[in-house]
């Protein structure tokens, strides 16, 4: 445990000790283990609206939202009803359903770049598949990614990776062979010159460029418009596939994701999180001429026993329907602006060097006085100060992401009163009270 972690609640402590004997690190995904801030992860019993409840009976305002999906809040009544109705008709068929076409229509209508789409089971499957299709379609091998961006645990993309890989000091995972990662070029986010040089040197060998069009996985980092425009121009000019990984940003920063927000249309897009309404579902899509390379329309292989699962599709479809009929984006923007201003003022009042980066309902309070635009900037943050902030907020009933290198997310149910409560807590915590 770090010096800033308080004594763990008894039941979570016991649950963690048991889990540690059963699962590596006691968890099924590393970001959950509170590894960077030390101490015992809180075991969750249930969630409702904007709140998480741990097994010791504490309530927390939730600022991770399952790391992105829960934009409507937890256990949203219509989504739960849709899941229940679907489950009662059987949980998996391995044969096509009309509901899959319904969700595909909702995705295609919302996301500018997607003319055809495939449903998969996770964000990782979406990026892994999109990369294979881009390589298959172009007949090229190389791929450009950016340091600190995370695209799931795809071998070729687990290089200079963000999220828990960055947090826990494993940006280049053991087990990824030179064969799997040798065609991956890593560049610095927002660096136009590096991009131009890479394309000048080997543009005709580059199958794809993949990026988070707003980064969440090194903390929230915003792309410069010039960076996005250069990406679009160079990939078009060299016949490379531009892939926006909108697993976090899709239906989060705008219905059509960052591509709608910035008005830059990629060739392919990957989705996850919100598109599955809190169930395991991802998607990848793009121009018809690219997507028709996928088997059985074309020869690029990609499949899944549970792909298009009826229960997951029901959750995703119900979520997208609500987002369309009753869009939360203006409110999320207002609450986001209020929270960002409040955190900024609280850190300023406490004399703590910091900067805040935000797009809509994604943001990060960086313990770094300079604006963070790439991984090297993020890496210069004061991790100990972050750890003290995290544990201080937990003790006040506010559950923030447990790493400096993750964006916070909030839902449409985080109202004015909850944002005020959060800012008040931050004032006290940052002032050391």
Catalytic residue positions? 150, 245, 273
Q: What is the DSSP string of 101-135?
A: HHHHHHHHHH-TT-SEEEEESSHHHHHHHHHHHHH
Which position among 214, 228, 241, 248 is part of the footprint of ligand PMP (CB under 6 A)? 248
Rounded least distance, CB 324 to ligand PMP, Å: 23
Q: Which of 16, 63, 146, 150 binds ligand PMP (CB under 6 A)?
A: 150
67 scored as a contact of ligand PMP (CB under 6 A): yes
**Least distance in angstroms from the C-beta of 127 to ligand PMP:** 5
DSSP-derived secondary structure for 323-388: HHHS--HHHHHHHHHHHHHHHHHHHHHTT---EEEEETTEEEEESSSSPP-SHHHHHTS-HHHHHH
> Which residues, 6 or more positions from 117, have their beta carbon under 8 angstroms from its beta carbon?
104, 107, 108, 283, 284, 285, 291
Residue with tokens 């916070």: 408
CB of 31 to ligand PMP, least distance (A): 8
Cis status of the peptide bond prior to 339, with omega within 30 of 0:
no
Instruction: Give yes or no for residue 245 binding ligand PMP (CB under 6 A).
Output: yes
Instruction: Using CB under 6 A, pick the residue from 52, 71, 234, 247 that binds ligand PMP.
Output: 247
Quick check: 272 binds ligand PMP (CB under 6 A)?
yes
Write down how long the chain is.
433
Contacts of 351 (CB under 8 A, 6+ apart): none
The count of other CB atoms within 10 Å of the CB of residue 35 is 18
3-class secondary structure, 144: strand
Beta carbons within 8 Å of 161's beta carbon, 6+ residues apart: 148, 149, 150, 151, 171, 172, 173, 217
Stretch that binds ligand PMP, among 7-15, 104-112, 150-158, 251-259 (CB under 6 A): 150-158
- Whole-angstrom distance between the N-terminal and C-terminal Cα of the chain? 21
**Interface residues for ligand PMP in 323-382 (CB under 6 A)?**
none
Q: Which residue number, 39 or 272, has a Cβ lying nearer to ligand PMP?
A: 272
For the window 88-127, what string marks contact with ligand PMP as x by the rule CB under 6 A? ----------------------------------xxx--x
> Closest CB to ligand PMP among 82 and 248?
248
**Shortest spacing between CB 130 and ligand PMP, in angstroms:** 10
Query: Which is nearer to ligand PMP, 128 or 347 (by Cβ)?
Result: 128
| Residue 171 makes contact with ligand PMP by CB under 6 A | no
Residue 15 Cβ, how far from ligand PMP at the closest point, in Å?
A: 23
- Given the rule CB under 6 A, which of 10-18, 233-241, 244-252, 289-297 is the region that contacts ligand PMP? 244-252
310 binds ligand PMP (CB under 6 A): no
Give yes or no for residue 275 binding ligand PMP (CB under 6 A). no
Shortest spacing between CB 425 and ligand PMP, in angstroms: 26
* 216 touching ligand PMP, by CB under 6 A: yes
As measured in angstroms, the least distance from the Cβ of 20 to ligand PMP is: 22
* Subset of 278-297 contacting ligand PMP (CB under 6 A): 282
Residue whose tokens read 């990824």: 176
Tokens 């992105």 locate to 68
Q: Helices marked H in 256-350 — which ranges? A: 257-262, 288-291, 310-325, 329-349
HSE, side-chain direction, 13 A CA sphere, residue 361: 34
217 contributes a contact to ligand PMP by CB under 6 A: yes
Query: Roughly what angle, to the nearest 10 degrees, separates helices 383-395 and 416-430?
Result: 130
Q: Which stretch binds ligand PMP (CB under 6 A): 10-18, 148-156, 329-337, 341-349?
A: 148-156
CA–CA dist 396, 312 (Å, integer):
34
Tell me the number of residues near ligand PMP by CB under 6 A: 17
Select 306 or 350, whichever has its Cβ closest to ligand PMP: 306
Structural contact between residues 214 and 237, judged by C-beta atoms closer than 8 angstroms: no
* Residue 271 interacts with ligand PMP (CB under 6 A): yes or no: no
Binding region for ligand PMP (CB under 6 A):
67, 122-124, 127, 150-152, 163, 212, 216-217, 245, 247-248, 272, 282
């Amino acid at each position: 445990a770090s010096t800033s972690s308080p004594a763990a609640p008894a039941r979570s402590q016991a649950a963690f000790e048991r889990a540690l004997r059963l699962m590596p690190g006691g968890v099924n995904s590393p970001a959950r283990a509170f590894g960077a801030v030390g101490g015992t992860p809180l075991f969750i019993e249930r969630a409702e609206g904007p709140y998480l409840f741990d097994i010791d009976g504490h309530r927390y305002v939730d600022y991770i939202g399952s790391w992105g999906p829960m934009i409507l809040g937890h256990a949203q009544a219509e989504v739960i009803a849709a899941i229940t109705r679907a489950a009662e008709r059987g949980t998996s068929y391995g044969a096509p359903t009309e509901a899959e076409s319904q969700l595909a229509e909702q995705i295609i209508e919302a996301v500018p770049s997607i003319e055809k789409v495939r449903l998969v089971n996770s964000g990782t499957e979406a990026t892994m598949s999109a990369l294979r299709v881009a390589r298959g379609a172009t007949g090229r091998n190389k791929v450009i990614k950016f340091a600190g961006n995370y695209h799931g645990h795809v071998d070729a993309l687990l290089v200079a990776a963000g999220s828990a890989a960055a947090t826990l000091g494993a940006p280049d995972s053991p087990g990824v062979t030179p064969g799997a990662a040798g065609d991956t070029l890593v560049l610095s986010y927002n660096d136009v010159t590096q991009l131009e040089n890479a394309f000048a040197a080997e543009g005709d060998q580059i199958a794809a460029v993949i990026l988070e069009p707003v980064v969440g996985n090194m903390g929230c980092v915003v792309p410069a418009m010039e960076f996005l425009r250069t990406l679009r121009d160079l990939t078009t000019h060299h016949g490379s596939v531009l892939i926006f990984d909108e697993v976090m940003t899709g239906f989060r920063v705008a219905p059509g994701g960052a591509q709608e927000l910035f008005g830059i249309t990629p060739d392919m897009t990957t989705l996850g999180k919100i598109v599955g309404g809190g169930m395991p579902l991802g998607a990848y899509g793009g121009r018809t001429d690219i997507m028709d390379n996928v088997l059985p329309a074309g020869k690029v292989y990609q499949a899944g026993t549970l792909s298009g699962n009826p229960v997951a599709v029901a959750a995703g479809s119900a979520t997208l329907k609500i987002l369309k009929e009753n869009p939360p984006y203006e409110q999320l923007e207002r609450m986001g602006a209020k929270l960002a201003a409040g955190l900024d003022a609280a850190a300023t009042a406490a004399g703590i060097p910091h900067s805040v980066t935000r797009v809509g309902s994604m943001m990060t309070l960086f313990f770094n006085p300079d604006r963070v635009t790439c991984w090297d900037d993020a890496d210069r943050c004061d991790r100990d100060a972050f750890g003290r902030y995290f544990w201080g907020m937990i003790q006040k009933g506010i559950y923030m992401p447990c790493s400096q290198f993750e964006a916070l997310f909030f839902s449409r149910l985080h109202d004015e009163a909850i944002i005020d409560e959060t800012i008040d807590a931050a004032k006290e915590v940052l002032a050391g009270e």
